[in-house]
Structure 1
Amino acid sequence: MIVLTSNNLEELLTPEIAVSAVRQAFSLFSSSRIIQPQRQLLTIKGNWWGIMPSYWDKSVTVKIVNVIPENKKKGLPSVQGAVLLFSPDTGEPLALLDGTTLTAIRTSAASVLSTELAFGGRNIGTLGVIGAGMEARYHIKIASGYLKLSRIMVTARSSHVQLAKEFGAEAVDLETLLKNSDVIFATTSSSTPVVLGKFLKDDFHISSIGAHTPEAREIDDETVKKARTYLVDSLEAVSKETGDYMQPVRSGILKKAIEIGEIINKGIKVERPSIFKTVGIAAQDNITALTAYEEAVKRGIGIKVT
């Protein structure tokens, strides 16, 4: 077995490789070729924890992940986790991977993939990122390495000035970002909407990765009303786990959503304005972990553990 650290994963999972991995993951999931039992959700000391298994012909993974908002005060990422990769043939553990970095990379790659599908290519225009934590950082990093961007804007309650400087982006207020962005990545822990439809352009694409409970929202009703396509990672998952899907469906605002894997498998054209709502699925972790492991073996990267 090998251990793959955060630095290892950053080296192995380039934007091209990461986006390709999540594309395969969504395709396999929506064609029922990869099995992922419903994640087990736990509340430990008031914080969200998830246990996420999945398997297919080539790999078995289990991820334990959590969201600890108070970690920010300690200088730690709010998302923590670990992924264990097994051989489905021998049952032996193949790799232990840093789940915090793996989650950030695969989540960012999913947002970037949804953007490529929404625009039918990589030429995007202006990207706006809401948030300044680890997910925001990786979203900018993967997007910058994969998409063609003319401008990047960042906003958050704090720390976004420093993040903007790191990537040569512009630190702006929320209204300015919403009014001027062609693509918006919402990467917050907010329980109330940060994407406000009244400020958005007529044409937009939104990827929202927050609001992971039925009571929480990152996207307001007006944004949902404006969208012509509402993409999700898993219809089953979003129907049980996020207010951004559950509440608009309950109120009748959202009539139809489609899995991103179905878009990929059937070659369906995404009509903008569009929204991609992702709560993260185990298939992403499985294929991204397997991809990282295979790359590591080829390149001799990782710490061997016996």
Structure 2
Amino acid sequence: MLVINREELENILRPKDVVDAAKDAFIAFSQGKVKQPERQVLNVKGNWWGIMPSYTDKAFSVKVISVINENKSRNLPTVQGTVLLMSPETGETLALIDGTILTAMRTAAASVLSTELTMGRKIHTLGIIGAGTEAYYHAKIGMGYLSVSRLLITARKSHFQLASKVGGEAVDHITLLKESDVIFSTTSSSVPVVLGDYLKDNFHVSSIGAHTPDSREIDDRAISKAKTFLVDSIDAVSREAGDYIQPMKKGLIKNVIEIGKAILEGNKISTPSIFKTVGIAAQDNFASYYAYKAAISRKL
């Protein structure tokens, strides 16, 4: 059994690898080639925990993940997790993988993939809202895969440090909204931080936060401007995402399509666009299998 830690994941998985894994995962999900029972969600000491199993003909995986906002004061990542990868043929344990970093990388890859599908790979100004682990990997994978002229970072705090670390510019919230062509929203906010009144006429937003029915990252004005609303799973966002549930009840969302189906159909996606992801187990399955194969090939 391999144990793949944070440093090893970063060494063996290039930005292209995790984007390719995300693409394969979403396609397989839309084709029904990956089985993933509904994730079990638990409330543990007031915090969100999820258990996410899935399997394909190549791999069986289980991820245990938690979102603990109090970790900010402990200087720990808000998201914590572990992925167990097993052989569907023999039941052997193949790898135990750092789920915190794998989650951050595969989530960032989904945002980057949605950007490529809607705006292409050449982006003038990319804005990231947030300064935590997800924000860092969105910057790292986004800058490593896309061709970005300008990177803007904003957050309640720590955006100066992150901007310095990833080669971006620390700016105020409204400046980022006004000047960004693509926005990655990676916050733990329960109220909207993507405000439609300040967005450009053409934009793409990927929102990875607000994963409960009563929380939002995107306001109604931004959603009403979007011509396409991409999701990872219609079923998942219908149960979990306030950014989908609430505006859908108001009739504000137009042209909903799962990202895997959009890839398969190969049609040009109309912008402005929004991608809402709550994360699906297929992403962890494919990302962990890619990491395992890369580790084997490098004799880790």
Band the TM-score falls in, shorter-chain normalisation: over 0.9
CA shift, 1:255, in A, is 4.1
Match of 2:78 in 1: 78
CA shift, 1:124, in A, is 1.1
Match of 1:207 in 2: 206
Is 2:196–2:219's contact at 8 Å kept on the other side of the alignment? yes
Match of 2:182 in 1: 183
Match of 1:5 in 2: 5
TM-score by length of 1: 0.97
CA offsets, 1:88-132, max 9 Å, x none? 00011100000000000000000000000002x310110000000
Given residue 36 of structure 2, which amino acid in structure 1 is its aligned partner? Q
Moved over 3 A (4+): none
Match of 1:196 in 2: 195
Match of 1:249 in 2: 248
Given residue 140 of structure 2, which amino acid in structure 1 is its aligned partner? K
Is 2:227–2:255's contact at 8 Å kept on the other side of the alignment? no
CA distance in 1, matches of 2:108, 2:89: 31
Query: Which runs of structure 2 are paired with 1:106-121 in the superposition (5 Å)?
Result: 106-119=106-119, 121=120
Match of 2:24 in 1: 24
Given residue 215 of structure 2, which amino acid in structure 1 is its aligned partner? A
CA distance in 2, matches of 1:128, 1:287: 27
Given residue 65 of structure 1, which amino acid in structure 2 is its aligned partner? I
CA shift, 1:74, in A, is 0.5
Matched, 1:60 2:60: yes
Q: Percent identity?
A: 61
Match of 2:168 in 1: 169
Match of 1:35 in 2: 35
Matched, 1:138 2:137: yes
Given residue 187 of structure 1, which amino acid in structure 2 is its aligned partner? T
Match of 1:89 in 2: 89
CA distance in 1, matches of 2:134, 2:113: 15
CA distance in 1, matches of 2:265, 2:11: 32
CA shift, 1:193, in A, is 0.1
CA distance in 2, matches of 1:230, 1:213: 18
CA offsets, 1:202-258, max 9 Å, x none? 000000000010000000000000000100000000000010000011111124410
CA distance in 2, matches of 1:12, 1:118: 28
Match of 1:237 in 2: 236
CA shift, 1:188, in A, is 0.1
CA distance in 1, matches of 2:151, 2:169: 6
Is 2:185–2:207's contact at 8 Å kept on the other side of the alignment? yes
CA shift, 1:164, in A, is 0.6
Is 2:13–2:291's contact at 8 Å kept on the other side of the alignment? yes
SS, match of residue 125 in structure 1: strand
Matched, 1:149 2:148: yes
CA distance in 2, matches of 1:22, 1:13: 12
TM-score by length of 2: 0.99
SS, match of residue 49 in structure 1: strand
SS, match of residue 194 in structure 1: coil
CA distance in 2, matches of 1:53, 1:251: 33
Question: How many residues were matched structurally?
Answer: 300
CA distance in 1, matches of 2:298, 2:101: 19
Given residue 41 of structure 1, which amino acid in structure 2 is its aligned partner? V
SS, match of residue 51 in structure 1: strand
Between stretches 191-200 and 11-20, larger displacement belongs to 11-20
Match of 2:104 in 1: 104
Match of 1:259 in 2: 258
CA distance in 2, matches of 1:67, 1:82: 13
CA shift, 1:79, in A, is 0.1
Gaps of 5+ in 2: none
CA distance in 1, matches of 2:253, 2:263: 22
CA distance in 1, matches of 2:152, 2:39: 34
CA offsets, 1:184-204, max 9 Å, x none? 000000000000000000000
Match of 2:227 in 1: 228
